[in-house]
Amino acid sequence: MAMDFNMLMNDTVKQARTDMDESGYEQLLSPEQVEEAFKRSGTTLVMINSVCGCAGGIARPAAKHSVHYDKRPDHLVTVFAGQDKEATAQARMLFGEDHLPSSPSFAMMKDGKLVAEIGRYEIEGHDPMSVVRNLQSQFDDFCEEL
Coil, helix or strand at residue 21: helix
Please give the model's pTM, rounded to 2 decimal places. Answer: 0.93
Distance from C-alpha of 20 to C-alpha of 61, rounded to nearest angstrom: 9
Task: Give me the pLDDT at residue 98, please.
Answer: 86
Which amino acid is present at 33?
Q
Distance from C-alpha of 60 to C-alpha of 69, rounded to nearest angstrom: 16
Task: Give me the pLDDT at residue 3, please.
Answer: 63
* More reliable by pLDDT, 27 or 4: 27
110-117 long-range Cβ contacts below 8 angstroms, 24+ apart:
110/42, 110/43, 110/44, 110/142, 111/41, 111/42, 112/38, 112/39, 112/40, 112/41, 115/141, 115/142, 116/141, 116/142
Contacts of 17 (CB under 8 A, 6+ apart): 27, 49, 80
pLDDT average, residue stretch 31-48: 97
Task: Give me the pLDDT at residue 103, please.
Answer: 94
pLDDT average, residue stretch 42-53: 94
Which residues participate in catalysis according to the annotation?
A: 52, 54
pLDDT in tens, 74-132: 999 999 998 999 999 999 999 998 888 899 999 999 999 999 999 999 999 999 999 99
Confidence of residue 53 (pLDDT cuts 50, 70, 90): confident
Which amino acid is present at 69?
Y
Distance from C-alpha of 55 to C-alpha of 43, rounded to nearest angstrom: 22
Task: Give me the pLDDT at residue 11, please.
Answer: 85
* More reliable by pLDDT, 5 or 108: 108
pLDDT at residue 1 greater than cutoff 60 = no
